[in-house]
Amino acid sequence: MPPLREVFFLKCVKNLIFCAICLCVFVSTAASADINLPKPLKSGGMGVFSAIENRASGTRGAFPAGAISDEELSTILWAAAGKNRNGDGWTVPTAGGLSPYAVVYVVMKDSAYLYDPEANKLIGVTNGNVINNVTNDNFVKKAPVVLVFVSSTDSLGAMGKLNEGNALAYNITGAMAQNAYLACESLKISARYMVSMNADGVNKVLKLKKGHIPVAILPLGKR
Ligand SMILES: Cc1cc2nc3c(=O)[nH]c(=O)nc-3n(C[C@H](O)[C@H](O)[C@H](O)COP(=O)(O)O)c2cc1C
């Protein structure tokens, strides 16, 4: 029979290993802390006609991976899905002026957030190596920020329960992405609208509710 001290020592080691495993599991599934975004830029920049003239998707072969500042991210998110007209309207047209029926998630290398347009903040969803779950494309994995547009038809009420609810969500995602492209052009940031993604991975890491469907992703990178 081993001496009592040895048994006690082994028990301590076992407990420590158990705690370390629990901590790892907790850290890898915990939500990232929320981030308050700086105010978006609402004036200056490139004229809208020049932005329309110059807009182009970043190429798959040479997609830039430059960092994007919080102010730039705030500006792109605001352009895509924010409030305008002193908080009375949305930057994209919505059916009946309702809240947008697609929401925007922000995936970074090791964290993911939901954009809250009313509070201009990022609500932490998860951390860990999320980017590898969202896409199989290497150039997307290297992008500092990937926006994920997800249908969220709750604000449509009864209309959202019909099939047209998701059709409307696809529709508004196009408007959001185009606004984001134009803001990106003004900020010298490349974007690429993509329907190819790992939808199961997106569902898992963003913990999407039933009926919320990933529509498209938009990797971003500073040129
Ligand atoms: C509905 C839609 C789906 C797209 N899906 C993908 C995609 O899955 N993968 C990709 O690399 N590009 C995708 N693209 C980007 C287009 O390939 C790109 O916009 C096209 O080459 C035209 O280039 P431009 O945006 O510079 O004009 C998609 C674009 C649209 C409009």
Q: How confident is the model at residue 24 (pLDDT cuts 50, 70, 90)?
A: very low
Residue 195 in contact with ligand 1 by CB distance below 6 A: yes
Expressed in angstroms and rounded, the spacing between residue 214 Cα and the centre of ligand 1 is 16
Instruction: In whole angstroms, give the CA distance from residue 192 to residue 219.
Output: 6
Residue 199 in contact with ligand 1 by CB distance below 6 A: no
Report pTM. Answer: 0.88
Residue 194 in contact with ligand 1 by CB distance below 6 A: yes
Helix locations, the chain, DSSP H: 4-29, 48-54, 70-81, 131-134, 138-141, 158-161, 163-187, 199-205
Expressed in angstroms and rounded, the spacing between residue 181 Cα and the centre of ligand 1 is 12
Span 129-169, pLDDT tens digits: 899 999 999 999 999 999 999 999 888 887 777 767 788 99
- Residue 1 above 90 pLDDT? no
Span 48-104, pLDDT tens digits: 999 999 999 999 999 999 999 999 999 999 999 999 999 999 999 998 899 999 999
What is the average per-residue pLDDT within 33-59? Answer: 97
Q: Tokens 């006609």, residue? A: 49
- Residue 40 above 90 pLDDT? yes
Lowest mean pLDDT among 17-31, 37-51, 115-129, 140-154: 17-31
